[in-house]
């Protein structure tokens, strides 16, 4: 099931040169640490080592050569809050109840992470881990009186404080709900009350990495109990819009790159159109943001090595969803296209996980049970988990594999409407259902038509029927009211 690409030759050579030990199934002893680096809105194709886009990611390229890379990982509901809730709980929105983004439009429907949800962080806290969260959370609804910050002053309010009883086991807390002013971000620290947030005059990912490095170094036990294993999540907002809010040192990496070389894909709208011009205006800054995030990954990995934490820390690099950036006339995400659904998933654990690229159809709800399984907590995966523990497959390459991945998008307050679909190794099916219109159906052959330009729903009726039946299986499994 491993994709045959020239990159595999590189991986194989690295494995031989490094003399990596064969993977095994024993629970880690001493307990393994967990570090998650989680940028927002980074599409899975935008990593240099894949050779798909002209983006500069030297640290990710190096990290990939030491990691299990899942190049078919997807966000099943590619917007922030539902996916973040799925990552934390191992559940689909039908179970965790976060049917849309947490903001003032969805707040009347109580779309936020339940206080009694069992998250992977709750499990690790119970197992004796010291836990930390840095950066964007976006799992709490804004409430009246709204906090007086910029992104709560428009028609839709976005940002909210997370009280201690809603932090799901995290001991160290330095975070915000959602706030998109990357060059002057805001945070609530551990002991801060709702009214006592603060601003920082520094690019968000850089500031958060400074803090993550301090957490890892842990001088005088200021950040965590050095006698306990740790689990730290660093949730960076970039490469989320607005794309111009990125330091010049990262923008300058693309000054000499011809714009024409970055707009070669046939699904990018033409110049002179609204979304074609949008793509051309923002693509260099989007890549600059990714290069900036890449730089922070390099700093964090260097710290792990200097602190002697490298071998005993499981490191995951992933994102909540991708970004069309105008492709298919879509501003960013919340659609079934490859640029929106596909996300990075690179996981590194020296001497345990064999570096390789694998085409496992992993979905966001699978992340939590798989991480817990890798860390030796198979029996502690919460009973309400929807996702699958693929830890044995990660370690050995063997095990059952899913045939498809669920796609969904929901109309706020109308959970039985919106879009549902499935994605397989070859096809994507999407069915859009509204009360007053005929169902819209799109079917793409992603092998013959990787840019998803030709809708085959009327021509390939047998494939459409087969995939519709596959979709019905997902809807029954998740008890989806859409069915």
Question: Looking at the domain assignment, is residue 22 inside a domain?
Answer: no
**pLDDT more than 70, % of the chain:** 94
Average confidence (pLDDT) over 404-411? 97
Domain range spanning residue 422?
406-477
pLDDT reading at 12 higher than 60:
no
| pLDDT given at position 27 | 59
Task: Judge if 395 and 435 occupy the same domain.
Answer: no
Task: Judge if 362 and 425 occupy the same domain.
Answer: no
pLDDT reading at 6 higher than 80:
no
Task: Judge if 392 and 431 occupy the same domain.
Answer: no
Strand partners, 358: 70
Instruction: Name the maximum alpha-carbon separation found in the chain.
Output: 67
Question: Looking at the domain assignment, is residue 50 inside a domain?
Answer: yes
Task: Judge if 127 and 168 occupy the same domain.
Answer: yes
pLDDT reading at 24 higher than 50:
no
Average confidence (pLDDT) over 376-386? 97
Task: Judge if 208 and 337 occupy the same domain.
Answer: yes
pLDDT reading at 189 higher than 70:
yes
Question: Looking at the domain assignment, is residue 482 inside a domain?
Answer: no
| pLDDT given at position 2 | 36
**pLDDT more than 90, % of the chain:** 92
Question: Looking at the domain assignment, is residue 49 inside a domain?
Answer: yes
| pLDDT given at position 434 | 83
Q: Which two tokens stand for residue 432?
A: 């859009």
CATH number, domain with residue 315: 3.40.720.10
Tell me the H-state helices in 186-306. Answer: 204-217, 248-251, 274-306
> To 5 degrees, how large is the angle CA 94–CA 95–CA 97?
75
User: Which DSSP symbol is given to 270?
Assistant: P
Strands (E), 365-413: 405-411
Cα distances (angstroms) measured from residue 2 to each of 5, 355, 357, 360, 398:
9, 12, 6, 8, 11
DSSP 3-state percent helix, strand, coil across the chain (nearest 5): 35, 15, 50
As for how many domains the chain has, the answer is 2
Ranges 4-8, 225-229, 309-313, 353-357: which has the least confidence: 4-8
Task: Judge if 458 and 383 occupy the same domain.
Answer: no
Which residue, 374, 400, 426, sits at the end of a domain? Answer: 400
Cβ atoms of 142 and 177 closer than 8 Å: yes
Task: Judge if 372 and 436 occupy the same domain.
Answer: no
| pLDDT given at position 29 | 79
Average pLDDT, the chain: 94
Question: Looking at the domain assignment, is residue 1 inside a domain?
Answer: no
220 — alpha (psi -120 to 50), left (phi > 0) or beta? left
Pick from 198, 135, 193: which is nearest to 161 by CA? 193
pLDDT reading at 142 higher than 80:
yes
DSSP string, 103-146: STTTGGGT-S--TT---HHHHHHHTT-EEEEEEE---S---SSP
CATH number, domain with residue 445: 3.30.1120.10
* 414-423/405-411 β-pairing: antiparallel
As a whole number of angstroms, the distance between CA 132 and CA 321 comes to: 22
| pLDDT given at position 426 | 98
Pick from 193, 156, 209, 210: which is nearest to 178 by CA? 156
Cβ atoms of 344 and 73 closer than 8 Å: yes
Average confidence (pLDDT) over 234-257? 98
pLDDT reading at 439 higher than 80:
yes
Q: What is the pLDDT of residues 117-138, one digit of tens each?
A: 999 999 999 999 999 999 999 9
Average confidence (pLDDT) over 216-232? 97
Q: Using pLDDT thresholds of 50, 70 and 90, give the confidence band for residue 4.
A: very low
Which residue, 367, 400, 433, sits at the end of a domain? Answer: 400
As a whole number of angstroms, the distance between CA 400 and CA 414 comes to: 35
pLDDT reading at 20 higher than 50:
no
Which residue, 400, 416, 448, sits at the end of a domain? Answer: 400
Task: Judge if 396 and 459 occupy the same domain.
Answer: no
């Amino acid at each position: 099931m491993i994709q045959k690409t020239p990159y595999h030759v590189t991986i194989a050579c690295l494995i031989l040169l490094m003399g990596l030990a064969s993977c095994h199934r024993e629970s880690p002893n001493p307990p393994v640490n967990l570090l998650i680096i989680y940028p927002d809105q980074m599409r899975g194709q935008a990593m240099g080592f894949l050779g798909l886009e002209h983006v500069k990611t030297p640290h990710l390229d190096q990290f990939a050569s030491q990691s299990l890379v899942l190049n078919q990982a997807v966000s099943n509901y590619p917007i922030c809050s539902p996916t973040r809730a799925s990552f934390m709980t191992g559940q689909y929105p039908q179970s965790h109840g976060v049917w849309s983004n947490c903001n003032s439009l969805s707040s009347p429907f109580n779309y936020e992470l339940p206080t009694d949800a069992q998250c992977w962080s709750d499990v690790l806290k119970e197992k004796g881990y010291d836990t930390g969260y840095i950066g964007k959370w976006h799992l709490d609804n804004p409430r009246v009186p709204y906090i007086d910050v910029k992104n709560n002053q428009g028609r839709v309010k976005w940002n909210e404080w997370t009280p201690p009883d809603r932090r799901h086991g995290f001991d160290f807390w330095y975070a915000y709900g959602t706030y998109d002013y990357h060059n002057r971000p805001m945070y609530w620290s551990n002991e801060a009350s709702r009214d006592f947030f603060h601003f920082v005059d520094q690019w968000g990912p850089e500031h958060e990495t400074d803090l993550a490095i301090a957490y890892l170094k842990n001088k005088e036990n200021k950040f965590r109990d050095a006698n306990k294993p740790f689990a730290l999540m660093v949730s960076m907002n970039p490469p989320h819009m607005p794309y111009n809010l990125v330091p010049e040192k990262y923008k300058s990496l693309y000054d000499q790159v011809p714009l024409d070389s970055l707009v070669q894909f046939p699904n990018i709208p033409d110049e002179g159109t609204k979304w074609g011009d949008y793509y051309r205006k923002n693509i260099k800054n989007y890549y600059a943001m990714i290069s900036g995030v890449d730089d922070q990954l390099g700093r964090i990995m260097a710290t792990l090595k200097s602190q002697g934490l490298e071998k005993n820390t499981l490191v995951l690099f992933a994102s909540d969803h991708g970004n069309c950036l105008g492709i298919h006339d879509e501003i960013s995400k919340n659609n079934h296209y490859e640029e929106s659904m596909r996300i990075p998933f690179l996981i590194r654990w020296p001497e345990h996980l064999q570096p390789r690229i694998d085409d496992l159809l992993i979905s966001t709800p699978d992340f939590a049970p798989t991480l817990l399984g890798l860390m030796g907590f198979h029996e502690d995966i919460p009973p309400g988990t929807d996702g699958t523990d693929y830890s044995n497959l990660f370690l050995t390459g063997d095990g059952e594999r899913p045939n498809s991945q669920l796609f969904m998008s929901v109309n706020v307050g109308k959970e039985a409407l919106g879009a549902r679909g499935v994605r397989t190794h070859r096809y994507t099916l999407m069915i859009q259902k509204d009360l007053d219109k005929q169902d819209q159906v799109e079917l793409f052959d992603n092998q013959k038509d990787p840019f998803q330009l030709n809708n085959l729903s009327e021509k390939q009726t047998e494939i459409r029927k087969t995939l519709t039946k596959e979709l019905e299986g997902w809807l029954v499994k998740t008890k989806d009211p859409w069915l």
